């Protein structure tokens, strides 16, 4: 058996007295797409932030290619170079053009020259249908365009894993499709993707593994067919029923 790209072992995270993640264990295989679904406040975002070391975990281990990256003193910047992240509210840098947003880390973290960084950025902008937006500032673009630019910014670093944190939740319904198309395209290149999402249809159609998070625990996980078709846990059934009632599946 090959080593998983990322292994979570009994990850526990508390904010003061509240346990947000309660001994979460999960193996993410290289090249797979893993969807984390579950009610609001179940810990989906925190889980992704822990994987990117944006949150300090209180217990457990986090392995990247079999190496423990959660030990104290481990340089988080080397990890983040290999794990990209896209956020719900895009988090583009508002004082920079789209091109500068993408090239900043290429130049300052990877040390690429301006010319090479811009070439790489333009290539991605073309790929994500943003060719005419390189000089636009984030506030001048639609939400869908901003999110595609934010994905381009993360993908430009050529990460081994991409974490997508509810990337369509802030978008108008008609803009969701264009962003999900970009994710489908990334999946076809073999990138390992972990997404927290409320887009159940998308999770069902594109995931290799679906995990249901509830109260900080993974209560159920399996193939989309298993989780959506024949959920074993009562809580999962209730959650999916609510989603169906809301017209979201």
Query: What residue ranges bind another protein (CB under 8 A)?
Result: 49, 52, 54, 76-78, 80-81, 84-85, 87, 89, 91-95, 104-105, 108-109, 137, 139-140, 150, 153-154, 157
Q: Which CB sits closer to another protein, 153 or 217? A: 153
For the bound state, the minimum distance from the C-beta of residue 84 to another protein, rounded and expressed in Å, comes to 7
> At its nearest, how many Å lie between another protein and the CB of residue 153?
7
Nearest residue (CB) to another protein, 95 versus 188 = 95
Q: Least distance to another protein from the beta carbon of 169, Å?
A: 14
Q: Which is nearer to another protein, 109 or 246 (CB)?
A: 109
Shortest distance, position 104 Cβ to another protein, whole Å: 6
| Residue with Cβ nearer another protein (94 or 229) | 94
Nearer to another protein, 82 or 127 (CB): 82
Q: Where are the alpha helices (DSSP H) in 128-216?
A: 143-156, 173-188, 200-206
CB atoms within 10 A of CB 140: 12
- Least distance to another protein, CB of residue 215, Å: 24
CB of 167 to another protein, least distance (A): 13
Element (H, E) at 127: helix 114-127
Round to whole Å and give the CA distance between 130 and 155.
Answer: 14
Give whole-number Cα distances, 202 to 29, 166, 191, in Å.
19, 12, 17
DSSP tag of 228: I
The token pair that represents 176 in the structure block: 């969701």
Nearer to another protein, 79 or 240 (CB): 79
End-to-end CA distance of the chain: 35
Left (φ > 0), alpha (ψ -120 to 50) or beta: where does 127 sit?
Answer: alpha
C-alpha span between 243 and 198 (Å, rounded): 9
């Amino acid at each position: 058996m090959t080593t998983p790209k990322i292994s979570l072992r009994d990850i526990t995270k508390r904010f003061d007295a509240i346990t947000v993640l309660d001994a979460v264990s999960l193996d993410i295989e290289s090249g797979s797409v893993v969807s984390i679904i579950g009610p609001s406040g179940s810990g989906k975002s925190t889980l992704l932030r822990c994987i990117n070391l944006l949150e300090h975990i209180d217990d457990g281990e986090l392995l990247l290619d079999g190496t423990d990256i959660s030990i104290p003193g481990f340089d988080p910047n080397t990890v983040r170079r290999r794990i990209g992240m896209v956020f719900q509210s895009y988090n583009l840098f508002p004082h920079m053009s789209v091109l500068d947003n993408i090239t900043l880390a290429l130049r300052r973290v990877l040390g690429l020259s301006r010319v090479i960084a811009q070439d790489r950025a333009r290539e991605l902008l073309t790929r994500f249908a943003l060719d005419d937006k390189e000089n636009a500032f984030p506030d001048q673009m639609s939400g869908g365009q901003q999110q595609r630019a934010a994905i381009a910014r993360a993908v430009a670093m050529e990460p081994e894993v991409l974490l997508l944190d509810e990337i369509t939740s802030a978008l108008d319904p008609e803009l969701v499709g264009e962003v999900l198309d970009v994710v489908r395209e990334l999946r076809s290149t073999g990138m390992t993707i972990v997404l927290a999402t409320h887009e159940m249809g998308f999770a069902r159609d594109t995931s290799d593994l679906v995990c249901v998070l509830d109260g900080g625990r993974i209560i159920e996980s399996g193939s989309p067919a298993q989780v959506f078709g024949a959920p074993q846990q009562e809580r999962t059934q209730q959650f999916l029923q609510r989603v169906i009632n809301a017209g979201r599946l």
